[in-house]
Structure 1
Amino acid sequence: MIDEITRMMRFLEFSDSAFPVGTFSFSNGLESAAFEGIVYDATTLEQYTYTALQQTIYSDAIAALIGFRAAAKRDYPLIRKADQQIILCKMNAEARLMLTRMGKKMAEISSQITYDPLMEKWLADIRQQLTPGTYPIAQAIFFQQNGLGEKELFATIAYGIINMILNAALRCIKVSHYETQHILYRLCSTAHVDYETIKDMTFDDMRVFAPEMDILAAIHEKGKMRMFMN
């Protein structure tokens, strides 16, 4: 067991947008939405971010909570299944690239910070291409093995996708820091409701139906107007 202050400090470290897994390199396709005139101000940015958040909650977060509980039981096959289920929910190649690149980096950094046999096995399997190695599952393993709870895990995943898009927006949308912080404040206010809604869901409940987002991602894969990797 760890004390409350240490637990909170670790939570802050691993939910920080500056945590070096490469989050800044991705935008979840925002610049394509901006180029196509779909996202152009604070209102449309909030709508876009909310949609991405819902996609994440009903896919990545569900699988991550399952992976977290599997890590507590040392159920490694279930951890790998959760990892695979996340990949199956991603229709576009760049989303898969984002999650696996960040996941591998998370596993590498975690292994440098502290020794954990489960994470070491996970990282070895990623390197041998035995599992995709998505970011939410890497987070789930680390959080469970280092005294953080599943609510903190959920909060980090939800906060991460919101912050990723809003930080990108400051570089390609006409919005201010005040507006992005206002959006962040509002979207975070329902996190407790979202957690209670999905906490007991299974793989069968995972869904990411938002066709416009997938179309924008497809445009971005072949497009030339880009500031970010995805």
Structure 2
Amino acid sequence: MGTVTTTTITMGDGGMADAGLLQVLWIASPALPVGGFSYSEGLEAAVDAGVVSCEDSAARWLVDQLHLGLSRSDLAVVAQAIPAWREDDVERIRALNCWVLTTRETHELRLQTEQMGRSLAEWARALGELGQGLTQRLNRAQLAPPTYPVACACALASSPAGLRSSLLGFAFGWAENLVQAAIKSIPLGQSAGQRILARLAREIPAAVDHALSLDDDRRQAFTPMLAILSARHETQYSRLFRS
């Protein structure tokens, strides 16, 4: 056998940018084992009620959910939690986590954020040394339980990627999950799903900019129609998804 040579690579600015981008893609990927694929966030209930029934209505529903829901709540929380994690501001992190828990408008939406937050923490532990830093930060914060936006912000905070890039990744991961939910629940073909995803991709930068502009007084989680449909979904006769 030949001799194995270990080479130490010093990354320049481009290397750091690449590492940051890859880490954001990894954390935001629907393939991350946090259970995101099992939730439709009210979309399945909207299909059952006839509010969403085709490609166009699904696209409009998800664009509205992006701007009226995600951008003003979870995306804004991630925007504020990433710098808090980087500054080790535990009190701020706990306050944001508490806000997420208290603003879930239905039981199943609260269970979703709790389950996905716990699963992300378990994923970090399963990585061993690779996830040790993330595990230590989550343990030190003593979140009971960690919500998904705050736990995901913790993972993103360890990346050298910029704040806006991290939010773009978070939002696109959300969009991929919900487009798959639309494909399965309406149902739609893959081409229709890709057209919806393309429309969401055009809308995401503006949603991220809005999230970045919000402070505590302007951050909100108030989507009455979504809350009603989510509450109905809890007793829906036949379901593919957990929300």
Asked if TM exceeds 0.5, the reply is: yes
Give the structure 1 partner of residue 215 of structure 2.
202
How many residues align structurally?
A: 227
Q: Distance in 2 between matches of 1:212 and 1:94?
A: 15
C-alpha change, 1:188 and 1:64, in structure 2 (3 Å) is same
Residue correspondence of structure 1 range 1-230 to structure 2 within 5 A: 3-54=16-67, 55-113=69-127, 114-117=130-133, 119-123=135-139, 130-230=143-243
Q: Distance in 2 between matches of 1:102 and 1:202?
A: 25
Q: 1:131: Cα distance to partner?
A: 2.7
Unaligned runs of 5+ in 2: 1-10
Q: Distance in 1 between matches of 2:242 and 2:86?
A: 34
Q: Distance in 1 between matches of 2:96 and 2:206?
A: 23
Q: Distance in 2 between matches of 1:88 and 1:32?
A: 22
Q: Distance in 2 between matches of 1:121 and 1:6?
A: 21
Q: 1:149: Cα distance to partner?
A: 2.5
Q: Distance in 2 between matches of 1:48 and 1:123?
A: 37
Q: Can you list the C-alpha shifts for 1:93-114, whole angstroms capped at 9, x where unaligned?
A: 1111111111111122123332
For the residue of structure 2 that corresponds to 1:146, the secondary structure is coil
Contact 2:82 2:163 in 1 (8 A): yes
Contact 2:124 2:134 in 1 (8 A): no
Q: 1:7: Cα distance to partner?
A: 2.1
Unaligned runs of 5+ in 1: none
Q: Which runs of 4+ in 1 moved over 6 A?
A: none
Worse-matched range after superposition: 103-112 or 136-145:
103-112
C-alpha change, 1:11 and 1:228, in structure 2 (3 Å) is same
Percent identity for Structure 1 against Structure 2: 26
Report the TM-score, using the length of structure 2 for normalisation. Answer: 0.85
Equivalent AA in structure 1 for residue 104 of structure 2: K
* Superposed CA RMSD: 2.0
